[in-house]
Amino acid sequence: APCSLVVPHALQVVTIDGPTAEEIDDGVSAEPSPDGLAAWVHVHVANPTVRIPAYSALDDMAALRAKTVYLPEGSVPMLPAALARGEGGTGLEPTDASGAPRSALTFSARVCLSTGALLQYKVAETALGSVLALTYQAADEL
């Protein structure tokens, strides 16, 4: 888009999903403020719009579905698997040293560590340089 500004995000982003997750579409990162009294908490959501032309048939289909639906018999994905998953997809799959940055919308909140009060917030289109995937069990073990 002519008016967009993609902000590089240098922090390590971590995704936490089940071992059989098919779509890795959100992650988190955090950073303390220099004074140690507050911290920025960032929630990153995969941004498939970077690969889907506006008002295209695929855009219309995704808008109608709005989300992936999980059923006992399987799932009905919002986006085709080839677009949503794997290297070159629009998800937040783990990066390696030579991997391309992952496109995301990042919702950030600066919070007071002693009270939890919201001090500041921002939303940005970001390019995530480092994404690490964890399972729930691996996250619990940290």
What are the pLDDT digits (tens) for 111-128?
A: 999 999 999 999 999 999
Three-state secondary-structure class, residue 103: strand
Per-residue pLDDT at 2 exceeds 60: no
What pLDDT, in 10s, does the model give residues 63-89? 887 778 888 887 777 777 777 776 666
Q: What is the pTM of this model?
A: 0.83
- Let me know the angle formed at the C-alpha of 105 by 4 and 31, rounded to the nearest 5 degrees: 115
The 3-state DSSP composition of the chain as helix, strand, coil percent (nearest 5) reads 15, 40, 45
| Contacts (Cβ under 8 Å, ≥6 apart) of 63 | none
Burial of 45 (C-beta count, 10 Å sphere; 0-12/13-18/19+): middle
Structure token pair of residue 43: 């929630």
Residue 44 to residue 129: CA distance in whole angstroms:
12
